[in-house]
Structure 1
Protein backbone atom coordinates (compact mmCIF):
# COMPACT_ATOMS: atom_id res chain seq x y z
CA UNK A 1 0.00 0.00 0.00
CA UNK A 2 2.90 2.37 0.78
CA UNK A 3 4.29 1.85 -2.72
CA UNK A 4 0.96 2.58 -4.40
CA UNK A 5 1.07 6.36 -3.96
CA UNK A 6 4.59 6.81 -5.41
CA UNK A 7 3.71 4.54 -8.34
CA UNK A 8 0.53 6.55 -9.03
CA UNK A 9 2.51 9.79 -8.88
CA UNK A 10 5.07 8.48 -11.37
CA UNK A 11 2.28 7.39 -13.72
CA UNK A 12 0.55 10.79 -13.40
CA UNK A 13 3.79 12.68 -14.10
CA UNK A 14 4.44 10.47 -17.13
CA UNK A 15 1.00 11.19 -18.61
CA UNK A 16 1.28 14.91 -17.92
CA UNK A 17 4.70 15.00 -19.59
CA UNK A 18 3.38 13.02 -22.58
CA UNK A 19 0.40 15.38 -22.95
CA UNK A 20 2.67 18.43 -22.83
CA UNK A 21 4.92 16.92 -25.50
CA UNK A 22 1.93 16.23 -27.77
CA UNK A 23 0.71 19.81 -27.22
CA UNK A 24 4.15 21.12 -28.22
CA UNK A 25 4.11 18.99 -31.38
CA UNK A 26 0.59 20.11 -32.28
CA UNK A 27 1.48 23.74 -31.55
CA UNK A 28 4.52 23.54 -33.84
CA UNK A 29 2.45 22.05 -36.68
CA UNK A 30 -0.34 24.62 -36.21
CA UNK A 31 2.15 27.50 -36.06
CA UNK A 32 3.77 26.33 -39.31
CA UNK A 33 0.36 26.13 -41.01
CA UNK A 34 -0.54 29.56 -39.61
CA UNK A 35 2.73 31.07 -40.82
CA UNK A 36 2.15 29.71 -44.32
CA UNK A 37 -1.43 31.02 -44.30
CA UNK A 38 -0.35 34.50 -43.16
CA UNK A 39 2.47 34.66 -45.74
CA UNK A 40 -0.04 34.03 -48.53
CA UNK A 41 -2.67 36.27 -46.94
CA UNK A 42 -0.40 39.34 -46.67
CA UNK A 43 -0.22 39.54 -50.46
CA UNK A 44 -3.99 39.71 -50.94
CA UNK A 45 -5.55 43.02 -51.91
CA UNK A 46 -6.80 45.03 -48.94
CA UNK A 47 -4.74 43.21 -46.28
CA UNK A 48 -2.79 45.46 -43.92
CA UNK A 49 -0.12 44.12 -41.57
CA UNK A 50 1.11 45.80 -38.40
CA UNK A 51 4.64 45.57 -37.05
CA UNK A 52 3.51 42.92 -34.53
CA UNK A 53 2.30 40.60 -37.31
CA UNK A 54 -1.42 41.27 -36.88
CA UNK A 55 -3.11 41.35 -40.27
CA UNK A 56 -6.45 43.00 -40.88
CA UNK A 57 -8.91 43.84 -43.60
CA UNK A 58 -11.38 46.70 -43.41
CA UNK A 59 -14.85 45.36 -44.23
CA UNK A 60 -16.84 48.49 -43.32
CA UNK A 61 -15.50 51.88 -42.28
CA UNK A 62 -17.53 54.66 -40.71
CA UNK A 63 -16.27 58.23 -40.71
CA UNK A 64 -13.02 58.73 -38.85
CA UNK A 65 -13.70 59.06 -35.16
CA UNK A 66 -12.37 58.26 -31.73
CA UNK A 67 -10.79 54.87 -31.18
CA UNK A 68 -10.67 52.82 -27.99
CA UNK A 69 -7.56 52.68 -25.81
CA UNK A 70 -5.92 49.52 -24.49
CA UNK A 71 -7.98 49.81 -21.31
CA UNK A 72 -11.34 50.77 -22.84
CA UNK A 73 -14.45 48.70 -22.30
CA UNK A 74 -15.84 47.71 -25.70
CA UNK A 75 -19.09 46.26 -27.00
CA UNK A 76 -18.65 44.10 -30.10
CA UNK A 77 -20.18 41.50 -32.33
CA UNK A 78 -17.68 38.91 -33.59
CA UNK A 79 -17.35 35.65 -35.46
CA UNK A 80 -14.22 33.56 -34.80
CA UNK A 81 -12.82 30.79 -36.99
CA UNK A 82 -9.67 28.76 -37.41
CA UNK A 83 -7.77 29.01 -40.70
CA UNK A 84 -9.60 25.91 -41.95
CA UNK A 85 -12.92 27.72 -41.55
CA UNK A 86 -14.17 25.92 -38.43
CA UNK A 87 -16.15 28.29 -36.20
CA UNK A 88 -15.05 28.19 -32.57
CA UNK A 89 -17.09 31.11 -31.19
CA UNK A 90 -19.56 33.66 -32.48
CA UNK A 91 -21.59 36.34 -30.74
CA UNK A 92 -23.31 36.78 -34.11
CA UNK A 93 -24.59 33.19 -34.01
CA UNK A 94 -25.71 33.66 -30.39
CA UNK A 95 -27.47 36.88 -31.40
CA UNK A 96 -26.00 38.86 -28.53
CA UNK A 97 -23.12 41.35 -28.56
CA UNK A 98 -20.52 41.05 -25.82
CA UNK A 99 -18.79 43.65 -23.62
CA UNK A 100 -15.31 43.37 -22.10
CA UNK A 101 -12.21 45.36 -21.26
CA UNK A 102 -9.55 45.42 -23.98
CA UNK A 103 -6.95 44.63 -21.32
CA UNK A 104 -8.76 41.32 -20.64
CA UNK A 105 -8.43 39.70 -24.07
CA UNK A 106 -5.75 38.34 -26.38
CA UNK A 107 -3.11 40.76 -27.65
CA UNK A 108 -4.41 40.62 -31.22
CA UNK A 109 -7.81 41.93 -30.09
CA UNK A 110 -6.29 44.62 -27.90
CA UNK A 111 -4.16 45.87 -30.79
CA UNK A 112 -6.76 45.46 -33.51
CA UNK A 113 -9.71 47.11 -31.80
CA UNK A 114 -7.61 50.21 -31.14
CA UNK A 115 -7.54 50.69 -34.94
CA UNK A 116 -11.34 50.85 -35.13
CA UNK A 117 -14.00 53.53 -34.63
CA UNK A 118 -17.62 52.93 -33.64
CA UNK A 119 -19.47 51.21 -36.45
CA UNK A 120 -16.36 49.82 -38.15
CA UNK A 121 -16.17 46.16 -39.13
CA UNK A 122 -12.76 44.56 -39.60
CA UNK A 123 -11.47 41.05 -40.21
CA UNK A 124 -8.43 40.21 -38.08
CA UNK A 125 -5.90 37.48 -38.89
CA UNK A 126 -4.18 36.85 -35.57
CA UNK A 127 -0.97 34.79 -35.38
CA UNK A 128 -0.64 32.39 -32.45
CA UNK A 129 1.84 34.70 -30.71
CA UNK A 130 -0.90 37.36 -30.45
CA UNK A 131 -3.57 34.81 -29.53
CA UNK A 132 -3.09 31.83 -27.18
CA UNK A 133 0.47 30.89 -28.14
CA UNK A 134 1.30 27.25 -27.48
CA UNK A 135 -1.74 26.80 -25.25
CA UNK A 136 -5.04 25.32 -26.29
CA UNK A 137 -8.27 26.91 -25.12
CA UNK A 138 -11.59 25.09 -25.30
CA UNK A 139 -11.80 23.88 -28.92
CA UNK A 140 -8.95 26.11 -30.15
CA UNK A 141 -5.90 23.89 -30.71
CA UNK A 142 -2.46 24.91 -29.44
CA UNK A 143 -0.51 27.21 -31.76
CA UNK A 144 -3.54 28.28 -33.81
CA UNK A 145 -3.78 31.34 -36.02
CA UNK A 146 -7.24 32.83 -35.52
CA UNK A 147 -9.56 34.79 -37.80
CA UNK A 148 -12.17 37.14 -36.38
CA UNK A 149 -14.73 39.36 -38.05
CA UNK A 150 -15.36 42.10 -35.51
CA UNK A 151 -17.85 44.97 -35.49
CA UNK A 152 -17.16 47.67 -32.90
CA UNK A 153 -20.57 48.72 -31.62
CA UNK A 154 -19.52 51.00 -28.78
CA UNK A 155 -16.76 51.75 -26.26
CA UNK A 156 -15.98 53.92 -23.26
Structure 2
Protein backbone atom coordinates (compact mmCIF):
# COMPACT_ATOMS: atom_id res chain seq x y z
CA UNK A 1 0.00 0.00 0.00
CA UNK A 2 1.41 3.36 -0.99
CA UNK A 3 0.50 5.28 2.14
CA UNK A 4 1.90 2.64 4.51
CA UNK A 5 5.38 2.99 3.05
CA UNK A 6 5.33 6.77 3.47
CA UNK A 7 4.06 6.99 7.02
CA UNK A 8 6.69 7.23 9.71
CA UNK A 9 5.07 8.70 12.81
CA UNK A 10 3.70 6.36 15.47
CA UNK A 11 0.15 7.60 15.02
CA UNK A 12 0.32 7.46 11.26
CA UNK A 13 1.77 3.94 11.33
CA UNK A 14 -1.14 2.85 13.47
CA UNK A 15 -3.69 4.29 11.07
CA UNK A 16 -1.89 2.82 8.09
CA UNK A 17 -1.95 -0.57 9.80
CA UNK A 18 -5.67 -0.12 10.36
CA UNK A 19 -6.14 0.52 6.70
CA UNK A 20 -4.23 -2.61 5.85
CA UNK A 21 -6.54 -4.67 8.12
CA UNK A 22 -10.10 -3.15 7.78
CA UNK A 23 -22.58 0.52 5.85
CA UNK A 24 -24.52 2.43 4.63
CA UNK A 25 -24.51 6.11 5.35
CA UNK A 26 -27.31 7.96 6.93
CA UNK A 27 -27.80 9.94 10.02
CA UNK A 28 -26.55 8.26 13.17
CA UNK A 29 -27.07 4.66 12.06
CA UNK A 30 -25.38 1.58 13.38
CA UNK A 31 -23.92 -0.40 10.49
CA UNK A 32 -24.80 -4.02 10.09
CA UNK A 33 -22.00 -6.57 9.84
CA UNK A 34 -20.88 -7.48 6.35
CA UNK A 35 -21.10 -11.02 5.02
CA UNK A 36 -17.90 -12.01 6.77
CA UNK A 37 -18.48 -12.99 10.38
CA UNK A 38 -15.96 -11.75 12.87
CA UNK A 39 -15.13 -13.13 16.26
CA UNK A 40 -16.13 -10.91 19.15
CA UNK A 41 -13.25 -9.15 20.80
CA UNK A 42 -12.37 -10.52 24.20
CA UNK A 43 -12.79 -7.93 26.92
CA UNK A 44 -9.50 -6.56 28.13
CA UNK A 45 -8.64 -5.23 31.54
CA UNK A 46 -8.64 -1.69 30.13
CA UNK A 47 -12.11 -2.24 28.67
CA UNK A 48 -13.33 -3.49 32.03
CA UNK A 49 -11.79 -0.46 33.72
CA UNK A 50 -13.42 1.84 31.18
CA UNK A 51 -16.76 0.14 31.80
CA UNK A 52 -16.46 0.92 35.52
CA UNK A 53 -16.19 4.63 34.68
CA UNK A 54 -19.30 4.81 32.50
CA UNK A 55 -21.02 8.12 31.86
CA UNK A 56 -24.44 6.48 31.75
CA UNK A 57 -25.14 6.70 28.01
CA UNK A 58 -23.45 5.99 24.70
CA UNK A 59 -22.58 8.90 22.46
CA UNK A 60 -24.39 9.31 19.15
CA UNK A 61 -23.13 10.85 15.93
CA UNK A 62 -24.84 14.09 16.92
CA UNK A 63 -22.71 14.29 20.07
CA UNK A 64 -19.51 14.48 17.98
CA UNK A 65 -18.83 18.01 16.76
CA UNK A 66 -16.92 18.69 13.56
CA UNK A 67 -15.90 21.80 11.68
CA UNK A 68 -14.90 22.32 8.08
CA UNK A 69 -16.51 21.29 4.85
CA UNK A 70 -15.54 18.90 2.07
CA UNK A 71 -11.88 19.32 1.10
CA UNK A 72 -10.91 21.14 4.31
CA UNK A 73 -9.10 19.43 7.16
CA UNK A 74 -11.77 18.98 9.84
CA UNK A 75 -11.61 19.41 13.57
CA UNK A 76 -13.29 16.66 15.58
CA UNK A 77 -14.50 17.26 19.12
CA UNK A 78 -15.44 14.27 21.28
CA UNK A 79 -17.59 15.09 24.32
CA UNK A 80 -16.73 14.11 27.89
CA UNK A 81 -20.28 13.35 29.00
CA UNK A 82 -21.00 10.09 27.14
CA UNK A 83 -19.37 6.71 26.48
CA UNK A 84 -17.99 5.52 23.14
CA UNK A 85 -20.61 3.59 21.15
CA UNK A 86 -20.26 -0.18 20.99
CA UNK A 87 -21.40 -0.39 17.35
CA UNK A 88 -20.21 1.27 14.16
CA UNK A 89 -21.94 4.60 13.64
CA UNK A 90 -21.95 6.55 10.39
CA UNK A 91 -23.37 9.94 9.52
CA UNK A 92 -23.17 11.85 6.28
CA UNK A 93 -22.04 15.40 7.05
CA UNK A 94 -22.09 16.37 3.34
CA UNK A 95 -24.26 14.20 1.08
CA UNK A 96 -22.19 14.07 -2.11
CA UNK A 97 -23.55 13.24 -5.56
CA UNK A 98 -23.70 10.32 -7.94
CA UNK A 99 -23.71 6.64 -7.11
CA UNK A 100 -23.07 5.29 -3.65
CA UNK A 101 -19.84 3.31 -3.25
CA UNK A 102 -20.11 -0.47 -3.51
CA UNK A 103 -17.84 -3.32 -2.53
CA UNK A 104 -15.13 -3.90 -5.13
CA UNK A 105 -14.86 -0.25 -6.20
CA UNK A 106 -11.60 1.66 -5.95
CA UNK A 107 -12.15 4.74 -3.78
CA UNK A 108 -9.96 7.76 -3.15
CA UNK A 109 -10.51 9.19 0.34
CA UNK A 110 -9.16 11.91 2.59
CA UNK A 111 -9.48 11.43 6.34
CA UNK A 112 -8.68 12.72 9.79
CA UNK A 113 -8.81 10.34 12.75
CA UNK A 114 -9.04 11.14 16.46
CA UNK A 115 -8.61 8.62 19.29
CA UNK A 116 -11.49 8.53 21.75
CA UNK A 117 -9.46 8.04 24.94
CA UNK A 118 -7.22 11.10 24.60
CA UNK A 119 -9.15 13.10 21.98
CA UNK A 120 -5.99 13.68 19.92
CA UNK A 121 -5.54 13.63 16.14
CA UNK A 122 -3.81 10.37 15.30
CA UNK A 123 -3.40 10.97 11.57
CA UNK A 124 -4.74 13.01 8.65
CA UNK A 125 -4.31 12.76 4.89
CA UNK A 126 -5.53 16.30 4.24
CA UNK A 127 -1.98 17.66 4.32
CA UNK A 128 -0.60 15.05 1.92
CA UNK A 129 -2.69 13.15 -0.62
CA UNK A 130 -5.87 11.07 -0.65
CA UNK A 131 -5.76 7.42 0.38
CA UNK A 132 -6.83 4.79 -2.20
CA UNK A 133 -8.52 1.52 -1.33
CA UNK A 134 -10.60 -1.21 -2.86
CA UNK A 135 -13.80 -1.15 -0.80
CA UNK A 136 -14.66 -4.46 0.85
CA UNK A 137 -11.37 -6.14 -0.08
CA UNK A 138 -10.00 -6.24 3.47
CA UNK A 139 -7.28 -3.69 2.71
CA UNK A 140 -8.53 -1.45 5.50
CA UNK A 141 -10.04 -1.93 8.95
CA UNK A 142 -13.54 -3.47 8.92
CA UNK A 143 -14.98 -0.17 10.16
CA UNK A 144 -13.95 1.44 6.87
CA UNK A 145 -15.00 -1.48 4.67
CA UNK A 146 -18.45 -1.40 6.29
CA UNK A 147 -18.78 2.30 7.03
CA UNK A 148 -17.95 3.63 3.56
CA UNK A 149 -20.52 1.57 1.66
CA UNK A 150 -22.91 4.04 0.06
CA UNK A 151 -20.69 7.12 0.37
CA UNK A 152 -20.96 9.39 -2.69
CA UNK A 153 -18.31 11.42 -4.46
CA UNK A 154 -17.97 14.81 -2.81
CA UNK A 155 -19.49 13.39 0.39
CA UNK A 156 -18.12 13.84 3.88
CA UNK A 157 -18.88 11.03 6.34
CA UNK A 158 -18.34 10.68 10.06
CA UNK A 159 -17.33 7.19 11.20
CA UNK A 160 -17.27 6.21 14.86
CA UNK A 161 -15.50 2.84 14.88
CA UNK A 162 -15.52 0.59 17.95
CA UNK A 163 -12.41 -1.45 18.82
CA UNK A 164 -13.70 -4.72 17.36
CA UNK A 165 -13.92 -3.06 13.92
CA UNK A 166 -10.61 -1.21 14.34
CA UNK A 167 -7.56 -2.45 16.30
CA UNK A 168 -9.02 -4.49 19.16
CA UNK A 169 -6.03 -5.18 21.39
CA UNK A 170 -4.16 -2.15 20.04
CA UNK A 171 -1.16 -1.35 17.84
CA UNK A 172 1.85 0.94 18.27
CA UNK A 173 0.36 4.35 18.98
CA UNK A 174 -3.14 3.00 19.61
CA UNK A 175 -4.27 1.81 23.03
CA UNK A 176 -6.09 -1.50 23.50
CA UNK A 177 -9.87 -1.25 23.05
CA UNK A 178 -9.59 2.21 21.47
CA UNK A 179 -12.56 3.73 19.66
CA UNK A 180 -11.59 5.76 16.58
CA UNK A 181 -13.47 8.75 15.18
CA UNK A 182 -12.89 9.56 11.50
CA UNK A 183 -14.10 12.32 9.25
CA UNK A 184 -13.71 11.04 5.68
CA UNK A 185 -14.06 12.84 2.35
CA UNK A 186 -14.90 10.80 -0.75
CA UNK A 187 -12.57 12.42 -3.27
CA UNK A 188 -13.36 9.87 -5.97
CA UNK A 189 -16.11 7.24 -6.27
CA UNK A 190 -16.32 5.58 -9.71
CA UNK A 191 -19.46 5.97 -11.76
CA UNK A 192 -21.63 2.85 -11.79
CA UNK A 193 -21.65 1.66 -15.39
CA UNK A 194 -24.19 -1.08 -14.78
Q: Secondary structure at the match of 1:26?
A: helix
Aligned twin of 2:163 = 128
**Match status 1:40 vs 2:59:** yes
CA distance in 1, matches of 2:161, 2:143: 6
The number of equivalent residue pairs is: 124
The normalised TM-score by structure 1 is 0.66
Q: Give the CA deviation at 1:71.
A: 2.4
Aligned twin of 2:104 = 71
Which runs of 5 or more structure 1 residues have no equivalent in the other structure? Answer: 1-22, 46-51
Q: 1:60 to 1:129 in 2, by over 3 A?
A: same
CA distance in 2, matches of 1:82, 1:42: 15
Greater helix share, structure number:
1
Q: Decide which of 149, 154, 163 is 1:114's aligned counterpart.
A: 149
C-alpha RMSD of the superposition: 3.0
Q: Give the CA deviation at 1:38.
A: 7.4
CA contact (8 A) 2:115 2:179 kept: yes
Which of the two has higher C-alpha Rg?
1
Q: Give the CA deviation at 1:57.
A: 2.4
Q: 1:116 to 1:129 in 2, by over 3 A?
A: same
Aligned twin of 2:76 = none
CA contact (8 A) 2:96 2:151 kept: no
Q: Give the CA deviation at 1:25.
A: 2.0
CA distance in 2, matches of 1:44, 1:125: 11
CA contact (8 A) 1:74 1:101 kept: yes
Q: Decide which of 146, 149, 156 is 2:180's aligned counterpart.
A: 146
The normalised TM-score by structure 2 is 0.55
Aligned twin of 1:58 = 92
Q: Give the CA deviation at 1:108.
A: 1.1
Q: 1:140 to 1:36 in 2, by over 3 A?
A: farther
Structure 1 range deviating more: 83-92 or 139-148: 83-92
